[in-house]
Amino acid sequence: MGEARGQGPELLDLTAQEIASRVRTGEVTAAETVDLALARIAELEPRVGALLRPGQLDDAARRSAEAIDARRERGESLGPLAGVPVVVKDNLSIEGQPLTCASRILDGYVAPYDATAIARLRAADAVIVGQSNMDEFAMGSSCENSAVQQTRNPWDPERVAGGSSGGSAAAVAAGEVPLALGSDTGGSVRQPAALCGVVGFKPSYGRISRYGLVAFASSLDQIGPIARSVPEAALLYESLAGSDPRDATCSERPVEGLGESAADDGGRAAPPTLEGLRIGRLREIDSSGLEDEVAAQWQSTLRQLSACGAELVDVSVPSLPAAVAVYYVIANSEASANLARYDGVRYGRRVAGGGSLRELNRRSRSEGFGPEVKRRIMLGTFALSSGYYDAYYGRAVGVARAMSEQFESAFSQVDLVVTPTSPSVAFRLGERVEDPLAMYLSDVFTTPANLCGLPALSVPCGLGGSSGLPLALQLLGPRWADREVLRAGAAFESASGWNRRVAPGAAAREESSSAS
């Protein structure tokens, strides 16, 4: 990766910036680039299972690519993602295409409009080539809760890809596409990115419009990019961020991206640096809760941050141990309200011969929703029920507010905070299906960013000594410090070189391409 190698299968292994530059100059066409991506998807999908309905968007993708090439031939300027193939999570509305959230209850539903994020992808001249698999309604940490299929980790097909944006992360890690979109409610962009050895970024809450994103927990949801490197993630983020009158929670603040090294076509700009940054270590992180190889790499990563010029400072967020519990009360409560609309009348599948309205509603939801979604609806409904609202939901909101204040206090002492992204490497398929608590604890380090609206970035930081599987660090910043988080991540990535590692399946693919 990184060296320009001309036209051919290797084109997709260049950065998104390099691909777009070649399309803009006419060195390659968008049509050629998209055809290569579609061929690679067809080759790899039987083993990875990253996409739902492979081939569904092939014709539309080719038409989009041809339109981009026609504009270039007429001398029109092209956008920053010109001809770059992208996959998007199947909870984002694409006009005229199925929108299922990997759930049976939305079988047959066709989106009537483009989400703002999709419209901005098109405006940047990206080409959408597929819709990615996910945990049903974004509820899960392994991509095993999809009603359609399991997604496998490109590093080890017997391991999970993470969730809920596991399909997007696996597609990037396998080399099917350079860029993907996911949604992050409690870590659903960052955790699968970490398990698959790629970069995942959750922007500040309100930074990217959620118009056209199917709601899970409205106070926590945020769309975010997944990419092979931080500059590529920043490029996608900059193409999506900005105000939107159709989303009342979307901020009108000016967008600040990574800067020159994100926009530079050939990666020639000087990378950012960690020199002078004060990075906080949370006293509440208990290494005993980390898998051995995660704990070992965590200490190594801290030493590397220090060697890169950062000053490490101990800070405290006393409410951090309650983050998972608080998150699952708030998220499930909001989910139970948001999913009430799928009743067989207003939205969602309707069973035949439902009888009374009550029976129709019960049967439609029972057949349409999977076990994890039902579990979360029940938990959320209980937390919101009369007599329990103040004890559970009200109390959880209060703790989340206190956590935000504690993070603000920490950021008065440091520029950023660092944590592991996940307490474990990718676990085996089926290993935690019967243990929801163990599955929920996968989000122990990622949920605080959503509860507090903070920007957070997952960056690969090594491979497990015994498993050989990817490990990642997470950088968090104050709200609206998206640029600072991205620049610090780019500096660490440049110094460590972990973004140049590829999944074994991708490496085998590259060797095969070279041999042919």
Instruction: For the chain, 516 residues long, give each residue's pLDDT as a single digit of tens.
Output: 333 334 444 899 999 999 999 999 999 999 999 999 999 999 999 999 999 999 999 999 999 999 999 999 999 999 999 999 999 999 999 999 999 999 999 999 999 999 999 999 999 999 999 999 999 999 999 999 999 999 999 999 999 999 999 999 999 999 999 999 999 999 999 999 999 999 999 999 999 999 999 999 999 999 999 999 999 999 999 999 999 999 999 999 999 877 554 444 444 456 678 999 999 999 999 887 899 999 999 999 999 999 999 999 999 999 999 999 999 999 999 999 999 999 988 888 888 876 788 888 888 999 999 999 999 999 999 999 989 999 999 999 999 999 999 999 999 999 999 999 999 999 999 999 989 888 999 999 999 999 999 999 999 999 998 999 999 999 999 999 999 999 999 999 999 887 667 787 654 454 444 444
DSSP 393-422: IIHHHHHHHHHHHHHHHHHTT-SEEEEES-
- Residue 515 is predicted with a pLDDT of 42
| Amino acid residing at 124 | A
Rg (CA), the chain: 22
Q: Could you give phi then psi for residue 153, rounded to 5 degrees?
A: -75, 125
Give the integer Cα–Cα distance in Å for 310 and 304: 9
In this prediction, residue 101 carries a pLDDT of 98
Q: Is 168 a catalytic residue?
A: no
Please report, for residues 12, 69, 177, 228, the alpha-carbon distance to residue 2 in angstroms, rounded to integers and kept in the order given: 11, 24, 15, 11
pLDDT given at position 273: 87
**Is residue 329 classed exposed, middle or buried when 0-12, 13-18 and 19+ CB atoms within 10 A define those classes?**
buried
The pTM of the whole model exceeds 0.85: yes
Active site annotation includes 218: no
> Using CA atoms, how far apart are residues 263 and 261, in angstroms rounded to an integer?
6
- Pick the catalytic residue from 188, 229, 404, 422: 188
164 included as an active-site residue: yes
Active-site residue among 89, 103, 319, 496? Answer: 89
Question: Where do the domains of the chain lie, and which CATH numbers do they carry?
Answer: 9-275+457-515 (3.90.1300.10)
Residue 312 belongs to what H/E stretch?
strand 311-315
C-alpha 242/C-alpha 8 separation (Å) is 35
Question: What pLDDT is recorded for position 437?
Answer: 87
Task: Tell me what pLDDT residue 56 has.
Answer: 96
pLDDT given at position 100:
97
103, 132, 142, 164: the active-site residue: 164
34 CB-contact burial (10 Å; exposed 0-12 / middle 13-18 / buried 19+): buried
DSSP 426-479: PPBTTSSTT-HHHHHGGGTTTHHHHHHT--EEEEEEEE-TTT--EEEEEEE-ST
Could you tell me which of 167, 95, 86, 164 has the C-alpha nearest to residue 124?
Answer: 86
Residues 6+ apart with CB under 8 A from 254: none
